[in-house]
Amino acid sequence: MKVRTIKILIYIILILGIYGAGNLAVHEFLEEGTCPKLGIIPACYVVLFCFVIPLITLIFNKSKTIYFLFTGFALALAAYATIGQLFDKIQCPKTEGEIPMCYISFVIFSSLILLKIILLRKNNMLE
């Protein structure tokens, strides 16, 4: 896979993630209780933030540390929620098809991290 293709794929995933998490955040704002909370903050707000910051770092070609910090935090959060959902301890918001969104977040953030690692390795091979 080419470097340009990987970057475009990361952009697409981030933009789709912002769209999905943004819709969920709007629902949470309009009808409190849609998203589980992390303390007093709805998790969907945190996940939205964890999509926006990596997109900004990618657009401005800034710190890969910040990218991995936010995507890694969101992956850990999604893993925690996924395990909680599997053991009936947490109820994640569901899609219209009844798929828990924490499962989707887990796959998305895993993909974002893996693609960024591949991108960095390919960039190092080009130098």
CA–CA–CA angle 88, 94, 96 (5° rounding): 140
The whole-number pLDDT of residue 111 equals 97
- Closest Cα partner for 11 from 67, 54, 66? 54
pLDDT of res. 86: 94
Per-residue pLDDT of the chain (127 residues; tens, 9 = 90+): 798 999 999 999 999 999 999 999 999 999 888 888 888 999 999 999 999 999 999 999 888 999 999 999 999 999 999 999 999 998 888 989 999 999 999 999 999 999 999 999 988 865 4
CA distance 74 to 66: 12
Distance CA 96, CA 58 (A): 31
Distance, in Å, from the CA atom of 79 to the CA atom of 107, rounded to the nearest integer, reads: 9
Check: pTM over 0.85? Answer yes or no. Answer: yes
* Predicted pLDDT at 127: 46
